[in-house]
């Protein structure tokens, strides 16, 4: 419980893992986050894992994480694009929500944010680091959004070109991946073993089984 006027000294580390589609493995970076936390003498209080687009503001697990966070907690992510591929207005909404609780964003791919994991920094150091990190995160969030928009544009252009040539067939199953999944299933591998080995999600394994049965 927070008492007014008393500085909170305990901070929790909350790890956020996201993949865009059900066929992608949102758990892929879990071990990297655990190793980072261990190397900085931190313990991850909870993992928040979901398969949702980073261009979507309303994400159930992200909302849960932000609701759970208390003043000064750490939001641990692999990459800024796991947190946001949002447009400008939505990113501002998310950023303000994060700042309202003074949540510290620590991203594995942004080394300057790693110092945010050190609760022993003095106030001046924290302010300087916060200013630097805010600037870098702002830039990287913009880059993530631009990358998202460019990929969507290239995809749209490719589809339109294929349609014009009469060769567009819609989204096709990844038969090579499905074959590898089925081979592991036939050898007796568990879902978790397949997920860890092939870096796929549970939905992809199920789709591979449907594909073999002729339903996909």
**Domain regions of the chain by residue span:** 13-144, 175-213
What span, in angstroms and rounded, lies between the C-alpha atoms of 189 and 76?
A: 31
- Burial (Cβ within 10 Å: 0-12, 13-18, ≥19) of residue 118: middle
Q: What does each of the 216 residues of the chain score in pLDDT, given as a tens digit? A: 444 444 555 789 999 999 988 778 889 999 999 999 999 999 999 999 999 999 999 999 999 999 999 998 999 999 999 999 999 999 999 999 999 999 999 999 999 899 888 756 677 777 787 888 888 899 988 888 888 888 888 888 887 887 787 776 767 778 888 899 999 999 999 998 898 888 888 888 988 888 888 754
What span, in angstroms and rounded, lies between the C-alpha atoms of 77 and 55?
A: 16
Please identify every residue annotated as catalytic: 20
DSSP 21: S
Domain 13-144 indexed as CATH 3.20.20.70: no
């Amino acid at each position: 419980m927070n008492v007014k006027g008393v500085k909170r000294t305990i901070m929790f580390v909350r790890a956020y893992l996201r993949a865009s589609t059900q066929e992608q493995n949102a758990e892929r970076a879990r071990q990297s986050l655990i190793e980072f936390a261990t190397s900085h003498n931190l313990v991850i209080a909870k993992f928040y894992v979901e398969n949702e687009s980073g261009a979507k503001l309303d994400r159930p697990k992200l909302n849960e994480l932000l609701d759970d966070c208390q003043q000064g907690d750490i939001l641990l992510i692999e990459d800024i694009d796991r947190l946001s591929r949002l447009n400008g207005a939505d990113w501002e909404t998310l950023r303000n929500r994060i700042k309202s609780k003074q949540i510290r964003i620590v991203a594995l791919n942004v080394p300057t944010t790693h110092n945010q994991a050190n609760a022993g920094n003095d106030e001046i150091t924290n302010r300087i680091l916060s200013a630097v990190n805010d600037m870098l995160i702002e830039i990287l969030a913009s880059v993530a959004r631009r990358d998202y928009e460019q990929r969507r544009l290239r995809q749209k252009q490719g589809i339109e070109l294929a349609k014009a040539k009469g060769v567009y067939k819609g989204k096709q199953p990844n038969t090579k991946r499905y074959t590898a999944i089925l081979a592991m299933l036939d050898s007796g591998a568990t879902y978790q073993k397949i997920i860890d080995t092939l870096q796929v999600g549970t939905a992809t394994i199920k789709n591979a089984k449907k594909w073999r049965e002729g339903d996909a």
